[in-house]
Structure 1
Amino acid sequence: MITVVQLGLGALMLAYLGVFFQDVWKHRSEIHSDGPLKNFINVAQGYITNFLDTLGIGSFAPQTIIYKTFHLVKDDSNVPGTLNVANTIPVMFEGFIFLTIVEVEAFTLIVLIIASIIGGIAGAKVVSKLPVKKVQLVIATALALTAILMALRQSGMLDILGEGNTALGLSGLPLIASAIGLFFCGVGQSMGVGFYAPCMAIVYFAGMDPLVSFPIMMASCAAVMPMSSITYIKSGKYDKLMSILIMISGVFGVATAAYLVKSMEKDLLVWIIVGVVIIASITVFKQALTKENTTDMA
C-alpha cells in the first residue's frame, strides 16, 4: 500500500510539472529577471529554507520574511501562490524520503492524505480570488499562528501530548476526527500557514507515535501542494522565475538535510525564527489595516 502511495505521488509530480512548465512556456515573454542579486537570494533561500523544512522547522514562514525583507514579490496577493508553487517539488521529494524510512499504517495515511488534498484545493480556490488587503490579513494571521505553534512545539508542550503514544494507525472516531483536522491543515497550507506543527499536534492528540507525524505530514503536503499549486498556476497568481529558482535549489536543500545531516542543534535557530515571524506578522497586520492599499512588500 505504501508503494501505491509512492507511485501515486510520482504520477502527481509528473502531472504537476507538466502543468507548471506549460504555463511557464506560455508566459515566457512575461518573465523578467530582477537582477543577479535577487536571483542569488532566491536560490539561497530555496536551499536553506527547504533544508530547514526537512528538519521539521518549516519553510513558509522564513520564506515570507525573506520575500518582504528583499522586496522579492511586488504584489502581496501573489505570496501564497508563490509559496506553494515554488516549494511543491522539494516537499514532494521529502514525502518520498520519509515514506521509506518511517513505518506508518497505510489506510490511515491514505485517508489523511485525501482529507489534506480536499482542504488544500478548497483553500487555494478561496485565496486566489481574494483582494490584496484580505490576502495580507491571511498572511499576517498565518505568520502569527505559525509562530505560536512553533513556540509550543519548541517548548515541548506539543511533545508532551505524544508521550507514551505507540499507535501506527487509527480507526473509527479518532480517524474521522484526524481527517477533519488534516482537512483544515490543508486549507491552512494553501494559505501559507505551516502544515507541520498543526499536523503534529493532531497526530499526538489522536494517540499515534510522534515519529509517525513525519511521513503523514510530509506525504500529505506532497499530495496537497501540487493540487493547490495548480489552482494558483491557472489563476496566474505566483512569481514564475522565483518559483523555478526556489524549486531547483530547494531539492538540493532537502537532499542535504535528508542524507548528509544526522543531527543538528537547532533550538536557538528555531527560537530566532519564532521571534522574527512574530515581528513580520505585526508588520503585515499594520499594512493590511492601513487606509491606503499597497502591493509593495516593504
Structure 2
Amino acid sequence: MTTVLLSLIVIVNLFFVLSFVKDLIKHKSEIMTEPATTLALPFTSFFMFLLSTFGISDFAIGTVLYRKLKWVPLKKLPGTLNAQCVIPVAAMALSYITSIDVGVKTLAVCIISQVIGAYVGPRFVVKLPEKTIKQFVSIGLTVAAVLILAGKFNLIPSNGTATELYGFKLVTAGILLFAYGALNNIGIGSYALTMATVYALGMNPAAAFPIMMGACTFSVPIGSMQFVKFGEYSRKITLFASTFGVLGVLTAVYFVKSLNVDMLQWLVIAVLLYTAISMILEMRKAKMSLVNSVN
C-alpha cells in the first residue's frame, strides 16, 4: 500500500511537471522579465518552504510577501501560490511518508477524505458566511492550543503516541479531513486543523506531517495545471520555488524527524496559535477596511 501511495504521488505530480516544463520552454524569453528579484528568490523560496514543512502556511507567507514586494499582480497571485508549492509539497509528502511511522490505512483514509472534500465540498462551503467559519476555526484552534498546553503542564491527561486509528476515531478523522479539504477553497489552510485533529485523537504529533502533505500533494497539482494552462501564474517564482523550495523542505524534514515528541508538541502549539491569531487579525483588518469605506 505504501508503495502504491508513493507511486501515485509521483505520477500525479509528474503530470504537473510535464505541463510546467512545456510552458517554461514556450515562454522562456519572458521568464526573466518578470518583476520578482532573481537574487532574492532563492532565499525567499528556501525559507518559505522550510517554514511550510513545519506547518506554517506558505500561502499566508506568499500572499504577504509577494503583494508587499509587488512581485505578482493580484490576478496571478492565486495561481502562483498554488503552482509554486506543487513540487516542494510532493517532496514533503514523499519524505514524511517514508520516514514517519503512520498506519497506511489511517493515512489513506485521511488523504482520500481531504481530496474528496477539496472537490465536492465547495458546493456546501460557499453557502456558509466566510466570516462565521473563520471565527469558529480561530476559536477552535486557540482552544486546541490551550488544551495541548495544559497537557504539557500536567493540568489534564495528555497522550499522543498512536500511529494508527481504528473504528470511531478513524471515521471522525475522515469526516474532519473531508471538511478541511472543503475549507481550503475559501482560503482556510488545513495544516493547523490537521495538527489539532491528530493530537486530539491521541496520535503522535509527527503523524500530522505525512497526513497534511499527503493530502495536499494530490489536490494541489490538478488545480495548478489549469493555472499553467491559462498562464495565470508567475513562471519565475514557480521555477525558483520548485528548486530552492525543495532544498528548504529537505532541510526542515531532517529537523522534524530528529525532534522528539515533546518538541513537536511545542511546535504544534506554536502553529495553532500563529494560525488562530493570523485569522483574527485578518478579520479585524477586513472589518476596519469596511468601516473606512463606509466613512
Q: TM-score, normalised by structure 1?
A: 0.74
Q: Structure 1 pair 156/25, CA: closer, same or farther in 2 (3 Å)?
A: farther
User: 2:274 and 2:183 mapped to 1: Cα distance?
Assistant: 23
1:20 equivalent to 2:20? Answer yes
2:164 partner letter: G
Higher Cα Rg, which structure: 2
SS at match of 2:251: helix
Query: After superposition, where does 1:213-224 map in structure 2 within 5 Å?
Result: 213-224=208-219
Aligned positions of 1:134-213 closer than 5 A: 157=148, 160=151, 163-189=158-184, 191-213=186-208
In structure 2, give the amino acid aligned to 1:213: A
Whether the 8 Å CA contact 1:120–1:224 is kept in 2: the answer is yes
SS for the counterpart of 2:73 is coil
Aligned equivalent of 1:258, options 253, 260, 266:
253
Aligned partners of 1:21, 1:125: CA distance in 2, in Å?
33
- Cα deviation per residue 1:36-64 (whole Å; 9 max; x = unaligned)? x7233333221101111222333222222
| C-alpha distance in structure 2 between counterparts of 1:125 and 1:239, whole Å | 29
TM-score by length of 2: 0.74
CA contact (8 A) 2:205 2:268 kept: no
Higher mean Cα deviation, 80-89 or 251-260?
251-260
Q: Structure 1: how far apart are the matches of 2:82 and 2:144? A: 23
Q: Distance in 2 between matches of 1:80 and 1:158?
A: 35
The 8 Å contact of residues 50 and 251 in structure 1, kept in 2 or not, is answered as: yes
CA RMSD of aligned residues (A): 4.1
Q: Deviation digits for residues 135-154 of structure 1, max 9, x if unmatched?
A: xx97x999988876776666
Which amino acid counterpart does residue 22 of structure 1 have in structure 2? K
* Equivalence for 1:33: 33
- For 1:60 and 1:31, the matched residues in 2 are separated by 22
SS for the counterpart of 2:40 is helix
Q: 1: CA distance between counterparts of 2:96 and 2:191?
A: 13
- Structure 1 unaligned segments of length 5 or more: list them: 131-136, 293-298
Q: Does 1:101 align with 2:96?
A: no
Q: Give 1:87's aligned residue.
A: 85
Q: Which residue of 2 aligns with 1:3?
A: 3
CA deviations on 1:166-218 (whole Å, 9 max, x unpaired) are 43223444333322321232234455433211111222343433332222112
SS in 1 for 2:107: helix
In structure 1, C-alpha distance between the alignment counterparts of 2:213 and 2:292, rounded to whole Å? 37
Task: Determine if the alignment matches structure 1 residue 228 to structure 2 residue 227.
Answer: no
Aligned amino acid, residue 62 of structure 1: I
For 1:234 and 1:141, the matched residues in 2 are separated by: 34
Percent sequence identity over aligned pairs: 30
Instruction: Check 1:57–1:14 CA distance in 2 against 1; reply closer, same or farther (3 A cut).
Output: same
Helix, strand or coil at the partner of 1:38: coil
Deviating more after overlay: 203-212 vs 276-285: 276-285
- Structure 1 distance, partners of 2:239, 2:121, is 23
Q: What amino acid does structure 1 have at the position aligned with 2:101?
A: E
Partner deviation per Cα, 1:67-107 (whole Å, 9 max, x = no partner): 222122212x4323221210111111111111122111112
Q: Residue 57 of structure 2 aligns with which residue?
A: 58
- Which segment drifts farther, 153-162 or 65-74? 153-162
Using the alignment, how far apart are the partners of 1:186 and 1:120 within structure 2? 4
One-letter identity of the residue aligned with 2:22 = Q
| Contact 2:141–2:196 (8 Å) recurs in 1 | no
Inter-partner Cα distance in structure 2 for 1:209 and 1:98: 13
| Count of aligned positions | 281
| Structure 2: 5+ residue stretches without partners | none
Q: Deviations over 1:120-167 (max 9, x none)?
A: 34579999xx9xxxxxx97x9999888767766665648859932443
Cα distance, 1:276–1:186 mapped onto 2, change above 3 Å: closer
Matched to 2:70, the amino acid is H
Distance change in 2, residues 1:26/1:285 (3 Å): farther
